[in-house]
Structure formats: C-alpha cells, structure tokens
Amino acid sequence: MLATLVDAPFTRPGWVFEEKYDGVRMLAYKEGARVSLLSRNAIDRTDRYPEIAAAIQKLKPKTLCIDGEVVVFDTKNVSRFQLLQQGKGRPQYAVFDCLYADEGDLRKKALSMRRAVLESIIKPSARVRLSALLSDDGLKAFQIASKRGFEGVVCKNLASIYVEKRSREWLKVKAHEEDEFVIGGFTEPTGSRQYFGALLLGVYSRNKLLYAGKVGTGFDTEMLASLHRKFQPLVRSKSPFASAVRERDATFLAPKLVAQLSFTEWTKDGKLRHPVYLGLRDDKKPTEVTRKEA
C-alpha cells in the first residue's frame, strides 16, 4: 500500500500520524522457520539483512506477513538512506503494518486492528521496532518531524483496509524534498575531480524521459569510481532524454540506474535546485520514476 503525496500538513479525527522513514520498503514473510524479506519489486533481500531476518524468525507467530522499512539511523536517531546505501551503521526494520498473522488474512480489517495485532507481536529489539507514532494531531506531528529533521509524516486513516496500490487513505507530507531520478548520462570531470563531473538526471512523463538537471555533489572518490564502473556497459551515443540537454561534454547512458537525491525545490523550468546525491536505488524501476506532484 502506497501513500499519496499532499502539499500541506493537516489534522483529522480518526487518523494517525507516523514518522516517514528514509530507507527501503520491505515486506517480511515468516512461514515456520523460514523468513523472507522482499523489496517493492519482489527482489529477495533476505541475505542482505540476515540480522533482521533472524530477529523476525524469533517473533511468536508461526505465520506472519508484515510491512515496513529497512533503515539506518544516524547519531541523532534520524533515518538516512545514504547510510543504508553505503553500508554504514546497523540496519533496522521499522514495522508499520501487519497483513497476515496466525489469526489469518488481516488486509480487510481496519488499520486500528492491524496496528493492535502488530503491537502485540513486535517487541522492540536491536533489529526490529514499531514505527513511531508522532502525535494524534497532524499539525503537531509535522512540527515534530520538521524540528527533528525527519523526511516527513505519513498520515493514515485508522478505518482503512490494506490495498496493494497507491491510496488516499494513506497520505504523506514531506518536511524536506527527497526523491528518485533516472541517470541518463554524466559530464567530464574538471580540476582534481576523477571519473566524472556530474550526473545528468531525468524523470518520466508519458513514457518520455525529461531532463531534470544535474548533480555534482554528494560523492567521495570511492563512490565516483564505483559509479563510473557501473556506467561503462550503459554508454550510448544518443541521448535518452526527450528534452534538450545543453552539456558540451556529456556522455549519455541507457536509462537503467535510479539515484536518490535531496534538493531544495523545483525551478519554474523543471530543474532541480541544490541537489545532493544520496545513493543508488535497486528497488525502483526507472520507468516508475516520475515527478511527484502534491
């Protein structure tokens, strides 16, 4: 179930307001002694997060399906996708929904009941925790998220059932801008920089990749080298962008890689202002990357 982006915080009776995490969405399945962790695009990530799988295996129900986010927290207890992507810190699983338990299929039950089942199952540990409920007041929740530096707030109708699609029964409000972009090329390095200068970025609209600007910050030397190696088999002579790219020294790539960036805002001509590279995402298909409008 995916939340719909809205442009302003709100408060509403019968809704709860949770911390929005900056990590990788993951479904966890437990069937007897077997545990599987599956990403949004159904890639098995059990071997990548064995400590989380082991913690889920210890949960009491024999059969279980829970929904959450794999995250790494910084020293201020704020989740950071960049830390997770770089393998720094301890991955944890922040769980916010229960789809199935020994009681049976819970997807048609109200969120209030699913959360109650979840709270009876999940005992906070070093690897698994319940998602944080910030406040019953959505405006106060947004103030907390903004003050603490969270990505934002997820707002949920306690009466809602679980549906496998984007819904307006779950809404999200961002405290700062962060999103995914398709890498369609790179520029040559200048000065003492090695490998490449900046990444050329795009988003899809009506099956066309539109140029969204470039990002040249957020990289260290090791990251530059690693990305450059990934780029080599993707080099192509023709631009993948449907809109013009005015970069003299551009090398174009097949649009196969997705990057996550933080930025301050979109400009009027559809470009990013002050973007910073955070990492690659392998749980999103390039064609899923579109500009998110509130």
Q: Which residues are catalytic?
A: 20
Q: How far is 13 from 161, CA to CA, in rounded Å?
A: 17
Q: Could you give the CA distance from residue 15 to residue 118 in angstroms, rounded to a whole number?
A: 17
Beta bridge partners of 266: 272
Residues 6+ apart with CB under 8 A from 289: 180, 181, 182, 202, 203, 204, 258
Q: How many degrees, rounded to 5, is the angle at CA 188 between CA 183 and CA 191?
A: 130
Alpha helices in 149-270 (DSSP H): 221-231
Q: How far apart are CA 96 and CA 129, in angstroms?
A: 9
**How do 133-135 and 2-5 pair as beta strands?**
unpaired
Long-range residue pairs from 88-91, CB within 8 A, at least 24 positions apart, any chain: 90/51, 90/126, 90/127, 91/49, 91/51, 91/52, 91/127
Phi, psi (rounded to 5 degrees) for 116? -65, -45
Q: What are phi and psi of 113, to 5 degrees?
A: -75, -40
For the chain, the straight-line distance linking the first and the last C-alpha, in angstroms and rounded, comes to 18
Question: Per DSSP, what are the bridge partners of residue 157?
Answer: 15
Integer Rg of the chain from CA: 20
Does an H or E element contain 187, and which? strand 177-187
